[in-house]
């Protein structure tokens, strides 16, 4: 048997694990199957197979991050991967194997765990070497260090890279400044991958993403219903993966999002929520945590509480005008530096975070805010004062935690449960068993 390439070993492992999970899910009786979960995993498989195919058959392949206008790469027929997307997905399936391995990786342990995983992943060749990588110039200094680390890694030192200089503000002039750079990025992609940019093809992808963000908005409107028709973090996680990590503008992703929307529509029409006696509606003003599913289940069972919205699930996305190339690139620039979460709240003026929190509390009838307090995330920590002020002014209780959103060992879940329970009981909420 031919020996497998080192740089394909890990993604093959991911592939086999997902195949196994799928087999297990599909072997359950039809009435117990979750078709959304199955279809989502099939898209994950496709993503994985595309990377292998590109690497084995010398097709264009790049490494990039969310917020780097992936619509362009997808429209140019370039396959792309995010260095931590699958790693994070598989943590839960492997008892945090990579997180434990990463403990021995020589990077400061206080550094954001997302950054640590990304450097660890590239240095261990968990993905095939790309034709180029698109670095992320925002929102934190960790991101800048991350790509310098990529550059000095011996396997990647000759890999060309491109970085967008993000604007600080959020005016049309700012977006024009970024849109101009997207043109340079297109030329860079053509040169490094040998592909050709065609406006019509990228436009097709962008239009499909416009439809996806429209469906996502409708889903969020349904979440305004009381009781909330879906559990904590579910659409925040799934839709973020479908729009930012899995191949952009895939109509199968739109169809999947539409199925979820329709299920939620039916639930709202029938007055059904994920909780019969919904008591607490929580805003989580950050990315959804890796361990969000377990935290969400516990909140539901123990406190009749549901995380209705997070920054990751929020949809400030404006429809991109695709009538001309200029308007399309302008819209993509705005999406990249002003709409994608983490970048939206982390970069530039704090007023965006203040306005978002105010608006989300009002729109989703939030009666409690829990701030995950991700370690190493300095801009978020720096804006805690403003978060506290908004919550005080609106008379909504706020709990500030310190966690790693991507490694539950940083503050074990049992400790979090104690802290959250203390907070909710002192705030006057009742445990589910006492209601």
* Chosen residue from 91, 115, 185, 416 binding ligand SF4 by CB under 6 A: 115
Bond from prior residue into 361 cis (ω within 30 degrees of 0): no
* Chosen residue from 122, 140, 206, 357 binding ligand SF4 by CB under 6 A: 140
Total residues contacting ligand SF4 by CB under 6 A comes to 12
Tokens for 334, please give them: 């705005």
* Cβ at position 146, least distance to ligand SF4 in Å: 8
Interaction of residue 341 with ligand SF4, rule CB under 6 A: no
**Residue closer to ligand SF4 (CB basis): 273 or 376:** 376
* Cβ at position 66, least distance to ligand SF4 in Å: 10
**Residue closer to ligand SF4 (CB basis): 261 or 374:** 374
Q: CA nearest 276: which of 296, 306, 308, 298?
A: 306
* Cβ at position 208, least distance to ligand SF4 in Å: 27
Contact 48, 12 (CB under 8 A): no
| Residues 6 or more apart whose Cβ sits within 8 Å of residue 388 | 398, 400
Interaction of residue 116 with ligand SF4, rule CB under 6 A: no
1-9, 92-100, 111-119, 189-197 -> range binding ligand SF4 (CB under 6 A):
111-119
Tokens for 309, please give them: 């919205």
Contact 347, 166 (CB under 8 A): yes
* Cβ at position 241, least distance to ligand SF4 in Å: 16
Q: CA nearest 272: which of 237, 231, 220, 315?
A: 231
Q: CA nearest 11: which of 93, 132, 128?
A: 128
Interaction of residue 285 with ligand SF4, rule CB under 6 A: no
**Residue closer to ligand SF4 (CB basis): 112 or 320:** 112
Distance (Å, whole) CA 77 – CA 197: 9
Residues 394-405 as b/e (b if ≥16 CB within 10 A, e otherwise) read eebbbbbbebbb
Residues 357-416 that bind ligand SF4 (CB under 6 A): 374, 376-377
Distance (Å, whole) CA 82 – CA 390: 34
**Residue closer to ligand SF4 (CB basis): 292 or 346:** 346
Q: Which residues share a beta bridge with 305?
A: 280
Q: CA nearest 240: which of 259, 253, 223?
A: 253
* Cβ at position 136, least distance to ligand SF4 in Å: 8
* Chosen residue from 83, 130, 139, 296 binding ligand SF4 by CB under 6 A: 139
Interaction of residue 83 with ligand SF4, rule CB under 6 A: no
Interaction of residue 142 with ligand SF4, rule CB under 6 A: yes
Interaction of residue 346 with ligand SF4, rule CB under 6 A: yes
Distance (Å, whole) CA 195 – CA 368: 49
Q: Which residues bind ligand SF4 (CB under 6 A)?
A: 112, 114-115, 139-140, 142-143, 342, 346, 374, 376-377
């Amino acid at each position: 048997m031919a020996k497998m390439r080192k740089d394909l070993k890990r993604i093959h492992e991911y592939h086999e694990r997902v195949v196994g999970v799928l087999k297990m899910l599909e072997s359950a009786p039809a009435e117990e199957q979750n078709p959304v979960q199955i279809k989502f995993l099939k898209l994950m498989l496709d993503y994985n197979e595309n990377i292998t195919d590109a690497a084995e058959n010398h097709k264009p392949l790049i490494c990039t991050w969310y917020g780097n206008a992936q619509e362009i790469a997808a429209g140019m027929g370039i396959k792309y991967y995010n260095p931590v997307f699958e790693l994070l997905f598989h943590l839960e399936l492997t008892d945090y194997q990579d997180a434990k391995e990463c403990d021995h990786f020589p990077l400061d342990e206080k550094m954001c765990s997302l950054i640590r995983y990304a450097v660890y992943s590239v240095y261990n060749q968990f993905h095939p070497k790309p034709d180029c990588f698109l670095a992320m110039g925002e929102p934190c200094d960790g991101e800048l260090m991350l790509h310098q680390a990529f550059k000095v890694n011996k396997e990647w030192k000759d890999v060309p890279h491109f970085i967008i200089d993000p604007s600080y503000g959020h005016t049309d002039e700012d977006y024009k400044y970024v849109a101009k750079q997207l043109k340079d990025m297109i030329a860079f992609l053509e040169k490094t991958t040998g592909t050709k940019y065609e406006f019509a093809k990228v436009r097709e992808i962008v239009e499909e993403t416009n439809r996806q963000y429209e469906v996502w908005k409708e889903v969020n409107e349904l979440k305004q219903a009381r009781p909330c028709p879906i559990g904590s973090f579910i659409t925040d996680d799934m839709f973020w993966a479908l729009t930012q990590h899995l191949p952009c503008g895939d109509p199968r992703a739109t169809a999947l999002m539409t199925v979820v929307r329709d299920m939620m529509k039916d639930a709202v029409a029938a007055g059904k929520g994920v909780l019969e006696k919904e008591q607490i509606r929580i805003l989580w003003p950050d990315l959804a945590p890796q361990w969000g599913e377990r935290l969400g289940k516990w909140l539901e069972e123990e406190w009749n509480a549901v995380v209705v919205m997070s920054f990751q699930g929020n949809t400030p996305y404006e429809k991109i005008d695709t009538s001309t190339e200029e308007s399309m690139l302008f819209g993509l620039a705005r999406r990249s530096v002003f709409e994608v979460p983490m970048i939206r709240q982390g970069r530039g003026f704090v007023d965006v975070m203040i306005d978002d929190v105010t608006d989300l509390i009002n729109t989703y009838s939030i009666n409690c805010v829990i701030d995950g307090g991700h370690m190493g995330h300095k801009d978020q920590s720096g804006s805690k004062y403003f978060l506290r002020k908004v919550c005080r002014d609106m008379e909504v209780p706020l709990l500030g935690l310190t966690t790693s959103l991507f490694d539950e060992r940083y503050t074990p879940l049992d400790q979090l449960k104690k802290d959250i329970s203390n907070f909710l009981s002192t705030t006057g909420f009742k445990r589910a068993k006492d209601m």
